[in-house]
Amino acid sequence: MSFLSLTNIKKSFGPVQVVHDFNMGIEKGEFVSFLGPSGCGKTTILRMIAGFETPSDGRITIDGKDQGSLKPNQRNIGMVFQAYALFPNMNVHDNVAFGLKVAGASRSEIDTRVKQMLGLIKLDHLADRFPYQMSGGQQQRVALARALAVKPQVLLLDEPLSALDAKIRVSLREEIRQIQQQLGITTVFVTHDQEEALSISDRIVVMNAGRADQIGTPFEIYNTPATRFVASFVGTLNIIEAKVADPATGAVMVGDQPVTLAEPIANLKGGDTISLALRPEAGSIAESASGDTSLVGEVEATNFLGSVIRTRLRVGNDLISFDMFNNPGVVPPSYGESVKLRFAAKDLLVIRE
């Protein structure tokens, strides 16, 4: 059995079911992100682990122990919320010490642990500050130290970065990951930001309307999305509508251009419509580009995005974007130009609904 185990979890609010039969085992020391759009049920799952919500059905265990009968304060869990939930009338030291005091730790135990925690978040010098005297990022680091001070079995992070500036968000997410790995603490992180989830997780759960569409490593989620929803939610993706020509050989038509997929097409027949996905970074129009497959299209737009230039091609009824790295000397194609986009057949993914 996994360290944190969620078995057949269902949750309804009145007549509305917001979590449908969710199952997952999370290993000790793993960092798992729940990723999905607003309302998909990710926070509800986190709140059930914390004990703030009761599952309508199913079982949650931590280290083999059923959590069902335990109130939130009886569970050995640390939590950090989106809004800075520090006690405004307590300084940093007392905020971090709070849980230890409640647990009846001695003064010297508390002081040692608080020092250790402030060292971990590199805020030793701010022990006397009050929350209103600190930046949002500093407050969230204190909130993290407070959650970790009591040595929880599981750390729950509910969009802890979403109220911060973009730059701080990136540095703090790296710091959270570093601390998590240093302590080896099992962590569940909720976010609607795909870049955030991809960058720091061991595994990601992509939630769609109360269900897990896919559970996998960032590589698996990005490279082999299981559904159209995952494909479009994670990263930028071209969806190409094609017609099956010969399922046995993987031959399809994109508009009037023939393309052969890397594998035969299961469960479809000639004339059926098929959705294919191609990442913008998978194609190239360079003379030197390799790739066993190509499509010719007309340039509709080029967008300078900094490190890459994204060009949109019209291929029949489809629009296909591809990226060129912004190297010195790179020349993007002009509007209206006809170009040949080369890519590997294996990068053309068949998307199931």
Binding residues for ligand ATP (CB under 6 A): 13, 18, 36, 38-44, 192
Q: 47 or 113, CB closer to ligand ATP?
A: 47
Q: 120 or 161, CB closer to ligand ATP?
A: 161
Q: Measured from the CB of residue 71, what is the shortest distance to ligand ATP in angstroms?
A: 17
Burial 165-202 (b: 16+ CB within 10 A, else e): eeebbeebbebbbebbeeeebbbbbbbbebebbbebbb
Q: 19 or 126, CB closer to ligand ATP?
A: 19
Q: Measured from the CB of residue 18, what is the shortest distance to ligand ATP in angstroms?
A: 4
Q: CA 42, CA 213: separation in Å to the nearest integer? A: 12
Q: 43 or 321, CB closer to ligand ATP?
A: 43
Q: 20 or 310, CB closer to ligand ATP?
A: 20
Q: In what order do the strands lie in the sheet with 238-246?
A: 257-260, 251-254, 238-246, 273-278, 349-350
Q: CA 302, CA 312: separation in Å to the nearest integer? A: 6
Q: 42 or 279, CB closer to ligand ATP?
A: 42
Q: 93 or 192, CB closer to ligand ATP?
A: 192
Q: Measured from the CB of residue 9, what is the shortest distance to ligand ATP in angstroms?
A: 12
Q: Measured from the CB of residue 50, what is the shortest distance to ligand ATP in angstroms?
A: 12
Q: In what order do the strands lie in the sheet with 57-62?
A: 16-26, 4-13, 57-62, 65-66
Q: Measured from the CB of residue 140, what is the shortest distance to ligand ATP in angstroms?
A: 17
Q: CA 160, CA 85: separation in Å to the nearest integer? A: 10
Residue nearest to ligand ATP (CB): 43
Cα dihedral across residues 100, 106, 107, 111: positive or negative? negative
User: In sequence order, which residues have a C-beta less than 8 Å from that of residue 147 and are 6 or more positions away?
Assistant: 78, 79, 80, 155
Q: Measured from the CB of residue 167, what is the shortest distance to ligand ATP in angstroms?
A: 22
- Are 223 and 208 within 8 A, CB to CB? no
Q: 121 or 198, CB closer to ligand ATP?
A: 198
Q: Measured from the CB of residue 159, what is the shortest distance to ligand ATP in angstroms?
A: 7
Q: What are phi and psi of 269, to 5 degrees?
A: -125, 170
Q: Measured from the CB of residue 11, what is the shortest distance to ligand ATP in angstroms?
A: 8
